[in-house]
Amino acid sequence: MPPGAVYLDDLQVALPGGSQPIVLDNFEALKGWDVLVEVPNAPRDTLQLVRTPTHGGASAGMFTWSGGHPLPLRGIYQESSPLPRAAVVSRTLLTSQGYKVGDRLLLGVHSHLVQVTIQGVVDFFPTLDPEEEPFLILN
């Protein structure tokens, strides 16, 4: 996939019955939008506010991606929780996936996207066996 960019402004939904579209986000601020981070050590795609071109208002969002393979997922999402949550991971998860302390991960939890930051590493945790299955602990 070649590098590129897309501009986002006045994200709308049209309801049945021909009523006026409802603006879900006008991209005057990024309000919890973030870039999918799926591959450790991959080039970072970006999302930023720009002043031009705009459809309405004073700003728009611009998602810019670097070249490379489109998989795993690349794009943006609106977080269910605006702040990354602290996570502790088993050393087996850290080494098997190539993560390091400080990495951000995007998890799917009950149909919600949750961003976490790896804050610590443990070798053992009560009732969890890292040799049986790597684990991640959140509060």
Which residue has tokens 């190539």?
Answer: 98
Residue 24 CA: distances (Å) to CA of 11, 35, 62, 94? 6, 18, 17, 37
Q: What is the DSSP-derived secondary structure letter of residue 58?
A: S
Paired sense of beta strands 85-90 and 136-138, if any: antiparallel
User: What number is the average pLDDT over the span 112-135?
Assistant: 84
| Rama region for 90: left / alpha / beta (φ>0; ψ in -120 to 50; rest) | beta
Q: Where exactly are the structural domains of the chain? A: 1-78, 79-139
Say if pTM beats, i.e. exceeds, 0.75.
no
d(CA 38, CA 57): 32
Summarize pLDDT for 13-63 with one digit per residue, the tens.
776 777 787 788 888 988 778 887 665 545 678 899 998 877 778 899 999
Summarize pLDDT for 79-120 with one digit per residue, the tens.
666 667 888 899 999 999 999 999 988 887 766 678 888 988
